[in-house]
Chains A and B, each alone.
Chain A
Amino acid sequence: MSETQRVGTVRDINGPIVTIELPGIRHGEQVKIGDLGLFGEVISLNGDRAVVQTYESTDGVRPGEPAEGLGWPLSVELGPGLMGGIFDGVQRPLEKIALLSGDYIRRGIDVAALDREREWAFEPNRDLEVGQTVEPGAVLGSVQETETVLHRILVPPGVHGELEELAPAGNHTIEATIARVRTRDGRTRRLQMYHRWPVRTPRPYLRRDDGVAPLITGQRVIDTFFPQLKGGKGAVPGPFGAGKTVVQQQIARWSNADIVIYVGCGERGNELVDVLETFPKLDDPYTGRKLMERTLLVANTSNMPVVAREASVYVGITMAEYYRDMGYDVVMLADSTSRWAEALREVSGRLGQMPVEEGYPAYLASRLAAVYERAGRVETHGAGSGSVTLIGAVSPPGGDFSEPVTSHTKDIIETFWALSKELADARHYPSIDWVTSFSGHVHTAAHWWHENIDASWEERRREALALLARDAELSRIVNLVGPEALSSSQRWDLEGAALIKEGVLQQSALDDVDTFCSPEKQFALLDLVLMIYDLGAELVTRGVPVQEMQRLPLLSRTRRIKSLYSSEQLDEIEAFRTEVEQTLENLRLEYEKHEEQAG
């Protein structure tokens, strides 16, 4: 990269796509456009001319204004000070921008992501000695970034050599020198607490590992029925209003990840404000600390420039990889990948590229795959194993899952939580459809459940799904010929399925108690409902009228248990279970007696 800055000229402005004349500029290079200094990125070259996509509105820019090549590709700053923040699609800190430019984002504003003044208490790695050889990813020391997050300062990728100097414990700004490394070519590299990384290049790791543990989200239909692994990739498709954002926010709130990166990509401003206002008040169920301490937001709302929307996903995933490299389990949520794909479409359209499906360019599938491929569980260079779980919302036009973004995404991901308009309209939340959703991780998750919760988890899960499948079939019959056509035990099947739906699957994010459900409670509820179904089925076979069973008050109480008792009140759930068992047992005895008398 040439060190001298070069200045050329704006030739053509077509919305966010600007053509400049600047010999020697590179593909992917960052550019400042016009007198306002709007940021952009070179996306194609043709002779002395370069096509630039700008991250800001180009209103008022004229042909003839200057265009300056900055010499580096779109990069982010990685270092302490990211956690708890909110950044725009090109990692500008929005809270600081609000102080500088008021309620609206002024164009061309140039603010570094990380605070240069703030001092951090650096604690060197006691195991390191001067003279030792260090490799990329080696832990130089750490700072307590927030109460929850210990931020490990790593040797950046590409730096190998002998440690010449390591700063002692003490307060430093991110720009202070904390180490010097003599590299193999004999030069000394000065290391700071932060470095820059180009967002479109995945960060290196030692090797990829298989996922082993489920990401516990506290949502029953996810954890129990369609589990996700730490390091997995998943999608939440659904029509508008079906609950994609709520699912993602619930995962951001309650999952057992170390770090959460929430990318609001082309969605509503108020949804990010919701996170910004509520997370600092909510307690992490695992650490007891405030959720915002381990959360980072990237916001490119739907009204913000579309090109920065394309960048926002890369900016988010690069920060996710950075925390992964410290040995953390990171969850990145992207809401919505469809808006990201539309940003690709808009740029490709302006460039006059040939559209293939619904206006999308031919490279849509490969770009999507490349983004999702950055998720995974890896062995890091120096901090053990870490993971990035990537969960993308998909917003199919008209709720039609056969459209290009949904169908390509479906080919890439392993967990698919399909939201249904019918369920949402009936206010069955989360509206994850148990027929069309799938998880490729059930088997792996089962190991964890069997070891940590209950050895019959996989079996119970299968029974529940089988009952739901029977229910779907029987409901079709009922809708054709009415309930009278069903046998007693078939009608009890419907009742059992209804119990699963209302007592287990439905879980309101707005219910203070039920919003989070521990794996123990998840299993207790599932097991309770199935027990009632099993015992009841036996009674019905013995001849107890199904109407009598349906009238049992314990059924409606079972439906309420989830919000009556919290994850800490397993004993109460157990007590209820014993009571139910007793009631049904009594019913059986009574019925037998009755039978005997009759017989």
Chain B
Amino acid sequence: MSIKEYRTAVEARGGLLVMKQTPGVAFGDRVRIEDHAGGIRNGQVIRASDEDVLILVFEGVEDLDLENTWVRFLDAPVEMALSPELLGREFNGLGEPRDGRPPILSSLRRAVGGSAINPAARTYPREFIQTGISTIDGLNSLVRGQKLPIFTGSGLPHNRLAAQIVRQARLKNEDAAFSIVFAAMGVSYADAKFFRDEFASSGVLRNVVMFVNLADDPPVERLTLPRTALTAAEYLAYDLDRHVLVVMTDMTYYAEALREVATAKGDVPARKGYPGYLYSDLAEIYERCGRIHERHGSITMMPVVSMPSDDITHPIPDLTGYITEGQIVLSRELNSQGIYPPVHISPSLSRLMKDGIGKDDTREDHPRVAAQLYALYSRALETRNLASIIGADELSTHDRRYLTFADAFDRRFVGQGENEDRSIEATLDLAWELISIFPKDVLTRVSEADIAKYYRELDESQAGSAGGGPASGVTTAVQSHSRRRRRSASGAQPAGAA
């Protein structure tokens, strides 16, 4: 079909435009709409039939008048132009420049919808990425090709954490930096600026492609934004052989935009008004990450998902958790204690950790140390609970040790500086320092060989103060309290790094 223009709109509501007598329009095609004032809007065909055609208008249908709306069917799906020039640029959800510079000129254009990776063509992700953050590297390790979201709440430092990961993430034995694809949906101007400044000051801007849709930009455009961003990521990874880290914030606003459109279309809602296909729709996005046979590049994904009212069972975090390979959960409680990054390890999980750690990847004791810390911490939280009911004085000496451990763990292991890049060895050594608060016979998750090699003998008098916290723990807490951004590396780098 050649490109045709029509003026047969009969209905406009909730981001949707209905056209009559537009035969032969393909499902999914891109549309260009000229409104009465000559303004140009973009759209996509979401239902096509003999009688009428339903168009999703990315900029919304606000202010359209049906008489004077010209609709042109472009006979092509929504596409993104691709070239190495992408790096360092900023686009909107449709892949149009937002940085005032000219559009990308390239004969290579790809439909942003993507298609499903053949599972038989995938390779299992197993290469450990060191983020320099103990709760992630030590207990919820990230591997290349994994999708690991940050579950957060309003006011929590997820942006700072994401930025720190972007700054610090690297493969253990490789220098190659990640290329970053940054996708912002519905975020505030301040948040977008935070990241832009962050990329600029850490000198990675030339390695970043940004896709931005701000809180006051048209919400419908958020539906294509992650897809456009991932099309760029796939190009960088599989055409240019780069390792790509995709940071997407905030998937909750994406899902809200989806609900808005679904409601307008009259789709049957499942939970909290979100359409039944929210799971599949999110999966189409998240599953574009991974590793593929015989491809050098890879796509690792770190979406930020805010939990409405801190509720992890809300459909958006819930369905995300069902798709992603784990989650890093931030805690308001830790945050209010001044602990940065406030990662709550109990609900946090990395499913791909098992093949990325251990003898050949990090250190042989790593898997068991992680299991041991989890076991101790979970018992320690129970003890804390008990202490809050009956009072710490009522606890046995053995139980009090758990309290000491819990506090030391929160302050020293969880807490770290915003510029503190801990090597995995430093993280594991710190772990042993904390584990050694306990007598050996409590430690049933680590092996006897591990204990022989790493256990720190402390005499009783020291045992008390080990938890009491040497200065570093306290400094960390103070650091994260202060809003001051420290750029100097002095003192922030632990001895084990580099």
Contact = CB atoms under 8 A, between A and B. Distances in A.
Contacts of A397: 270-271, 313, 315, 318-319
Interface string A544-561: 000000000100100110
Contacts of A19: 49
A577 to B, nearest CB: 18
Contact of B267 (A12, A276, A342, A349): A349
A482 B119 contact: no
Interface in B341-381: 346-347, 349, 351-352, 354, 367, 371, 374-375, 378-379
Given A19-B49, A107-B115, A427-B375, A241 B315 contact: no
A484 B396 CA distance: 9
A111 to B, nearest CB: 12
B308 interface: no
B480 interface: no
A326 interface: no
A104 B120 CA distance: 10
A95 interface: yes
A11 B121 contact: no
Contacts of B121: 98, 102-104
A425 B346 contact: yes
A425 B377 CA distance: 10
A304 B325 CA distance: 17
Given A104-B118, A240-B321, A60 B287 contact: no
A61 interface: yes
Contact of A479 (B26, B288, B389, B444): B389
Nearest to B53: A63
Q: How large is the interface on B (under 10, 10 to 19, 20 to 34, 35 or more residues)?
A: 35 or more
Interface in B284-298: 284, 286-288, 290, 292-293, 295
A346 interface: yes
B48 A12 contact: yes
A13 B47 contact: yes
B277 interface: yes
B230 to A, nearest CB: 11
Contacts of A346: 276-277, 280
Given A98-B121, A349-B276, A270 B325 contact: yes
B116 A427 contact: no
Contacts of B122: 269-270, 273
A425 B1 contact: no
Contact of B444 (A266, A480, A502): A502
A270 B290 contact: yes
A302 B280 contact: yes
A241 B122 CA distance: 22
A101 B123 CA distance: 17
A470 B346 CA distance: 26
Nearest to B311: A398
Interface in B42-60: 46-51
B495 interface: no
User: Which applies to chain B's interface (DSSP): helix, strand, loop or mixed?
Assistant: mixed
B259 to A, nearest CB: 13
B322 A481 contact: no
A104 B290 contact: no
B120 A86 contact: yes
B346 A426 contact: yes
Given A269-B119, A302-B283, A508-B371, A61 B23 contact: no
A493 B444 CA distance: 20
B378 A425 contact: yes
A397 B378 CA distance: 25
A359 B48 contact: no
B269 interface: yes
A296 to B, nearest CB: 13
A301 interface: yes
Given A358-B270, A425-B347, A57 B115 contact: yes
Interface string A338-366: 01001001101100000100110000000
A131 interface: no
Contacts of B103: none
B361 to A, nearest CB: 14
B226 to A, nearest CB: 13
B24 interface: yes
B119 A301 contact: yes
A124 B120 CA distance: 35
B313 A559 contact: no
A400 interface: yes
Given A11-B49, A64-B23, A395-B322, A303 B276 contact: no
A16 to B, nearest CB: 10
Contacts of B10: none
A268 interface: yes
Given A303-B287, A359-B270, A427 B378 contact: yes
B125 A59 contact: no
A269 B48 contact: no
A303 B283 CA distance: 5
Q: How large is the interface on A (under 10, 10 to 19, 20 to 34, 35 or more residues)?
A: 35 or more
A358 B119 contact: no
Contacts of B295: 103
Contact of B313 (A269, A299, A400, A481): A400
Q: Identify the interface centre among B27, B111, B292, B444: most chain A CB within 10 Å of its CB.
A: B27
B268 to A, nearest CB: 4
Q: Identify the interface centre among B121, B321, B352: most chain A CB within 10 Å of its CB.
A: B121
A247 B267 CA distance: 35
A59 B113 contact: yes
A270 B279 CA distance: 17
B77 interface: yes
B496 to A, nearest CB: 26
B326 interface: yes
Nearest to A508: B371
Contacts of A299: 119-120
A14 interface: yes
A151 B267 CA distance: 47
Contact of B117 (A58, A63, A103, A510): A103
Contacts of A303: 116-117, 280, 283-284, 286-288
A144 to B, nearest CB: 24
B394 interface: yes
Contacts of A291: none
A483 B396 contact: yes
Q: Identify the interface centre among B120, B313, B314, B346: most chain A CB within 10 Å of its CB.
A: B120
A62 B24 contact: yes
A61 B290 CA distance: 29
A553 B119 contact: no
A510 B354 contact: yes
A59 B113 CA distance: 9
A97 interface: yes
Given A241-B351, A359-B268, A97 B118 contact: yes
A345 B124 contact: no
A534 interface: no
A304 B374 contact: no
Contacts of B314: 398
A61 B119 contact: no
Contacts of B323: 268, 302
A15 B121 CA distance: 26
Q: Identify the interface centre among B77, B113, B270, B314: most chain A CB within 10 Å of its CB.
A: B270
Contacts of B284: 303
A263 interface: no
Interface in A54-76: 57-64
A455 interface: no
Nearest 3 CB-CB pairings of A with B? A398-B313, A302-B283, A12-B49
Given A63-B24, A240-B321, A559-B444, 5 more contacts: A59-B77, A94-B120, A266-B280, A269-B117, A274-B124
6 contacts: A60-B29, A266-B279, A268-B325, A270-B290, A346-B276, A359-B276
Interface of A: 11-15, 19, 57-64, 86, 94-95, 97-98, 101-107, 239-241, 264, 266, 268-270, 272-274, 276-277, 299, 301-306, 339, 342, 345-346, 348-349, 355, 358-359, 395, 397-400, 425-427, 478-484, 502, 508, 510, 553, 556, 559-560
